[in-house]
């Protein structure tokens, strides 16, 4: 069962990202502040939920949240600053969009949002002068991180469905940009697009790509 809060039952934000391992499309992060008495039996880490349940939860989270925000960071930024930094930046940008401002932040993963006053032993620090804790597998432990994971995943899936219409040969509507055999075969056949991450190993050998 998911815990409701880590530190504070008032304005505690959870944040998570989706699409970190993809070959194409943005890395997408969400941040959300849930109300004190929020409950939902279906809410869980988005990876443990069916697509239908994730999209059923999406409007519930959007309407019941005190605040939420979503950020897409495009492949050009991912290629420039690397996927780890892009994931952290997307989460940080989402937090900065929240209104009201959270008084505590919980982050999925084992990396700091910002290294200021960061203690690598217990994964705590401050971000924009707001204290945070990074929690390994936090999306399976705390409601707000799980909710952020659902929003990040559903918003990113919708984005991939949209750009699928522009480049249907890659079947992003199905694979969402992940490195499936079908996706890699399409890259081999058709080359790369503006949505591909050129810093990633798109094929077992890059010799066949004209980039």
Helix (H) or strand (E) holding 149: helix 143-164
pLDDT score, position 206: 52
What's residue 8's pLDDT?
Answer: 80
pTM, entire model: 0.94
Q: What is the pLDDT of residue 1?
A: 86
* Torsion angles phi and psi, residue 132, rounded to 5: -140, 160
- Positions of the chain with pLDDT under 50: 207, 211
Which strands form 130-135's sheet, in the order they lie side by side? 67-73, 27-33, 12-18, 104-108, 130-135, 124-127
> What pLDDT was estimated at residue 43?
96
């Amino acid at each position: 069962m998911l815990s409701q809060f880590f530190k504070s039952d008032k304005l505690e934000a959870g944040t998570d990202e989706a699409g970190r391992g993809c070959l194409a499309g943005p890395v997408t992060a969400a941040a959300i502040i849930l109300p004190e008495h929020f409950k939902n039996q279906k809410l869980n880490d988005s990876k443990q939920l069916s697509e239908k349940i994730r999209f059923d939860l999406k409007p519930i989270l959007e309407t019941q949240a005190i605040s939420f925000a979503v950020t897409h960071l495009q492949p050009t930024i991912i290629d420039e600053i690397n996927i780890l930094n892009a994931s952290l930046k997307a989460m940080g940008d989402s937090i900065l969009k929240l209104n009201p401002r959270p008084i505590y932040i919980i982050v999925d993963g084992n990396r700091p949002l910002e290294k200021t006053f960061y203690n690598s032993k217990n994964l705590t620090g401050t971000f924009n002068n707001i204290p945070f804790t990074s929690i390994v597998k936090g999306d399976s432990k705390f409601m707000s991180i799980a909710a952020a994971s659902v929003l990040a995943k559903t918003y990113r899936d919708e984005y991939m469905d949209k750009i699928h219409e522009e480049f249907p040969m890659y079947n992003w509507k199905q694979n969402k940009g992940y490195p499936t055999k079908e996706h890699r075969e399409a890259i081999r056949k058709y080359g790369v697009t503006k949505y591909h991450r050129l810093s990633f190993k798109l094929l077992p050998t890059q010799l066949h790509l004209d980039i």
